[in-house]
Amino acid sequence: MLVWALAGCGSAVEGEAEPLSGQEGLFDPCTDIPDSAIRGVGLDPLTKERDLVGVEELGWKICSWTGPWYFVVVMSNVYSLQDVRSNTDFTGFRDVEIGQRQGVQYSRAQDQVGASCYVATPVEQGTIWLRVSRMGLHPIEESTCTLATRYGAELETYWPH
């Protein structure tokens, strides 16, 4: 991909974008999940955002889309399901089926209102996480865990094995 970047006092530098070390081989939800699939699950591909506020995170590929009152975020990383279960930031682990895969559903430990829910499935590189989180203080119209499991089941066919 050709990238134009500002360097110094307004001059442009042309060149290829260099991924962060450790990013090679990670599933990239922004490019590996087609827009037609995003449209097919009822989200608008034009709302796609890469990374966290445009900042690439080492060891992660992140992509999000905006729903009516929530965000859907797909995160690819090198961590195992055991790493997820061992992380004290998360709680409420429940084994679930995500499409044709076995996975786990969980939430953040400090989330007392169900504002976000995650599902994760193992893949060769580590895990794919899908999170549904309400936007701001929008009312929660449906369980974020129900939505996360549904979106995971609908999109997992695009995830690596």
Give the confidence band of 38 by pLDDT, cuts at 50, 70, 90.
very high
Strand spans (E) along the chain? 2-7, 11-16, 49-50, 60-66, 70-77, 90-98, 101-108, 116-123, 126-134
9 within domain boundaries: no
Q: Does residue 7 fall inside a structural domain?
A: no
Query: Which residue segment(s) compose the domain that 108 sits in?
Result: 22-158
* Band (57; pLDDT cuts 50, 70, 90): confident
Q: Give pLDDT tens digits for 78-119.
A: 999 999 999 999 999 999 999 999 999 999 999 999 999 999
Is the pLDDT score of 16 beyond 70?
no
**CATH number of the domain bearing residue 141:** 3.40.1000
**3-state secondary structure (DSSP) of residue 136:** coil
Asked whether the beta carbons of 65 and 72 are under 8 A apart, the reply is yes
**Other CB atoms within 10 Å distance of the CB of residue 13:** 10
What average pLDDT does this structure show over 39-61? 91
Residue 140 backbone dihedrals phi, psi, to 5 degrees: -80, 110
CA pair distance 102, 153, nearest whole angstrom = 10
Total structural domains within the chain: 1
Residue 4 included in any domain: no
Indicate whether 43 belongs to any domain.
yes
Tokens encoding 68: 């009516």
> Is 98 part of any domain?
yes
Residue 11 resides in a domain? no
In the chain, the amino acid numbered 91 is: T
Strands 90-98 and 70-77: unpaired
Quick one: CA torsion of 134, 30, 127, 66, rounded to 10 degrees?
Answer: 10
* Residue 8 domain-assigned (yes or no): no
pTM: 0.84
Domain membership of residue 1 (yes or no) is no
